[in-house]
Amino acid sequence: MSNQDNVPHQKSHKTAIIVGAVSAVLLIILGFLYFKNKSEMQVLVEEMTEEKDLLTTEFESLALDYDSLKTNSDTLNLLLEKEREKISQLIEEIHTIKATNASKIREYKKELTSLRKVMRNYVIQIDSLNQTNKALQQENQQIRRTVSNIKTSYQKLEKEKDNLAEKVDIASKLETYNMEATGLNSKDRSTTRASRISKIRICFTIQKNITAEVGEKEIFLRVLRPDGALLYHSKDDLFKYENKEINFSSRRVVEYGGDELDVCLYYNVDAGELTIGDYTADIFADGHHIGNMTFSLR
């Protein structure tokens, strides 16, 4: 073979070598670019995954912040509960999306920013409401103290009024003196023989009292025998004394004008009613016990 025939062959061989070398270089470059791009994509995916996890954490933190908000307003509590439900739903949605879904991640970031603004408004409202409630509580405490002071003053005045009324009642109480007991026979002659007495007369003087109420006064007489039995004619003969009704032996209405007044009351004796011994006579008026004496029959 001549040298001229080898020249094209050598050129063809060199071309093949060059082409092969270039192809090898291109493959190397393409391989390098592929692995580099894959590595970069992996890093990007990891970054987006971290971003998704961070976004989830921020939503969960926001949910806890909403849970910490407390108020006595039913309206605000209802609105807060709706926001909590919304955040919970968004957290569930974030868990379901792919980390590479950048558009969705951006949407949730915007939603997070919006929810934070809403929360700040609620914090301001709750703080204002708490301040108002605090002021109202202080005002209520002041009102309660004022009412308590008024109540104490009223009770004190009522006590003073009762004490004054008691003093007036004591001062206006009628009093008697010069009490005398006389047994009378059928001819109205005095006797101390129990078997001969047909009536008992009790006389006394009501003292002068300018504080006592004037007008008609019911005077009641109770006479007790030596055995403690009350002399009376009817179970219906009753008057009030110390919040209860008791029987009386005799009763009389007198006109009292504030000056001294002589009064006598009589008790008609039933046959065989009297016994020998010491008797007690008690006088009552205006619900008070105003006189007492003892006398003896033989």
- What confidence score (pLDDT) does residue 287 get? 92
CB 204 within 8 A of CB 283: yes
- What confidence score (pLDDT) does residue 41 get? 54
Domains annotated for the chain, with CATH where assigned, are 1-171 (no CATH), 176-297 (2.60.40.10)
pLDDT-above-90 percentage for the chain: 40
- What confidence score (pLDDT) does residue 270 get? 94
Q: Is the pLDDT of residue 30 over 80?
A: no
Structure tokens at 44: 């990007």
Q: For the segment 119-129, what is each residue's pLDDT rounded down to a tens digit?
A: 788 788 887 88
CB 200 within 8 A of CB 267: yes
| Dist. CA 284–CA 223, nearest whole Å | 12
Q: For the segment 168-178, what is each residue's pLDDT rounded down to a tens digit?
A: 556 678 999 99
Please give the average per-residue pLDDT across 78-86, as a whole number.
84
| Dist. CA 160–CA 199, nearest whole Å | 47
Residue type, 217: K
- What confidence score (pLDDT) does residue 137 get? 80
CB 245 within 8 A of CB 195: no
Please give the average per-residue pLDDT across 39-52, as a whole number.
65
Closest CA to 205 of 180, 182, 177: 177
Which has more confidence, 145 or 11?
Answer: 145
Q: Is the pLDDT of residue 1 over 70?
A: no
- What confidence score (pLDDT) does residue 68 get? 81
Which has more confidence, 188 or 144?
Answer: 188
For the whole model, what pTM was predicted? 0.48
CB 50 within 8 A of CB 57: no
Q: For the segment 197-225, what is each residue's pLDDT rounded down to a tens digit?
A: 999 999 999 999 988 889 999 999 999 99
DSSP-derived pairing of the beta strands 250-256 and 215-224: antiparallel
Please give the average per-residue pLDDT across 61-80, as a whole number.
82
Q: Is the pLDDT of residue 164 over 70?
A: no
- What confidence score (pLDDT) does residue 13 get? 66
| Dist. CA 47–CA 295, nearest whole Å | 121
Q: What is the mean pLDDT of the chain?
A: 83
Distances (CA, A) of 44 to 6, 83, 100, 101, 204: 56, 33, 9, 12, 123
Q: Provide the pLDDT confidence category of residue 228 given band limits of 50, 70 and 90.
A: very high
Please give the average per-residue pLDDT across 90-100, as a whole number.
77
Q: Is the pLDDT of residue 38 over 70?
A: no
Please give the average per-residue pLDDT across 103-126, as a whole number.
82
| Dist. CA 90–CA 158, nearest whole Å | 67
- Going across the sheet that includes 215-224, the strands are 250-256, 215-224, 277-285, 288-297
